[in-house]
Structure 1
Amino acid sequence: MNQEKIATKPNLKKRIGAGLIDYSLMFGMTLVMFLYFGEKTSTGYGLHGFPALANTLMWCAYMIGFELKFGGTLGNLVFDLQVISIKDSNTTSLTLGQSFKRHLLDMLDLWFFGLLGILLIKNTKYNQRLGDIWAKTIVIDSKDSTQFCKRFV
């Protein structure tokens, strides 16, 4: 029978800093796409066709790809944060589905300057935001030995 021992902390300052780095990069990439490929519409500018698809693919490559390859986005890595799986298995590595679920709910977690995400991080058992709860993941400080997820068989 698998048994888990999980210890986390909110790491709010680090998580907010990581989020600022990640979404500044995403905003910058999107701004470049609008500047070079945006089309003027009656309500402002829009991306259509391949540029809109490319923007979505860049988001996936950065947010999901970095997590799968390195255990976190660039922002997470700068602040020594690691995203790990707490699903029933023998590994703490993320799956594609888990990373996708985490980031699919980013807009809800970031709603009203991140208020929902912050409230959930401060008030859930494993300091998870909505995306983490759905994906069965946690975020730990990889330099803090008091934060971990260990499995015993």
Structure 2
Amino acid sequence: MKKEKFLFRRIIAGLIDYTLIFCATFAYIQYFGEVNSEGEFYVSGVKALPVFIFWFVYNCVIEVNLQSTFGNYLVKLKPVDEKTELDITIKQSFLRHIVDPIDMFFFGLVAIILITNSQESKRLGDLLAKTKVVKI
């Protein structure tokens, strides 16, 4: 039996989530950052910590407590444990998202290839965390 991949929904959800994260990061760096010799804003040291905290809260804490990120909620998807189909843990959520930079570096191509070619439509983070994405 062929399983639905939700590829378009997952792309839209990812675009929504990472647009929000990038916008919040950009605003934070513009407001709290310093200007280097080339006129570019940057944060370093302790000032960079809120960027990572926001990423963790948005992707992991919210995903675990509300069963999906904002993007997944809008497209009616949620991640679940691959075996039990119960809500994921904070560890699973962290593992799902820690490899997001690999997906983003290749403009989502790695995720698209993995989702379309895996039986459970898993991307790299889902394989690592032992999760899958289902329709709400």
Q: Does 1:61 align with 2:60?
A: no
Larger RCO of the pair (alpha carbons < 8 Å, separation 6+)? 1
1:45 to 41, 47, 63: 41
TM-score, length of structure 1 as denominator length: 0.82
User: For the Cα contact (< 8 Å) 1:33–1:51, is it kept in 2?
Assistant: no
1:32 corresponds to: 27
The share of aligned pairs that are identical, in percent, is: 39
User: For the Cα contact (< 8 Å) 2:99–2:124, is it kept in 1?
Assistant: yes
TM-score, length of structure 2 as denominator length: 0.91
SS in structure 1 of the partner of residue 44 of structure 2: coil
2:103 corresponds to: 109
Within 5 Å, give how 1:88-127 maps onto structure 2: 92-127=86-121
State the number of aligned residues. Answer: 134
CA distance in 2, matches of 1:111, 1:57: 21
Structure with larger Rg: 1
Q: Does 1:15 align with 2:10?
A: yes
CA distance in 1, matches of 2:130, 2:11: 20
> What amino acid is aligned across from residue 102 of structure 2 in structure 1?
L
User: Structure 1 unaligned runs (5+)?
Assistant: 1-6, 143-153
> What amino acid is aligned across from residue 61 of structure 2 in structure 1?
G
Which of the pair is proportionally richer in strand? 1
User: For the Cα contact (< 8 Å) 1:8–1:140, is it kept in 2?
Assistant: no
CA distance in 2, matches of 1:141, 1:75: 13
Within 5 Å, give how 1:74-153 maps onto structure 2: 74-87=70-83, 92-142=86-136
- TM-fit CA distance, 1:41: 1.8
Runs of 4+ in 1 over 6 A off after TM superposition: none
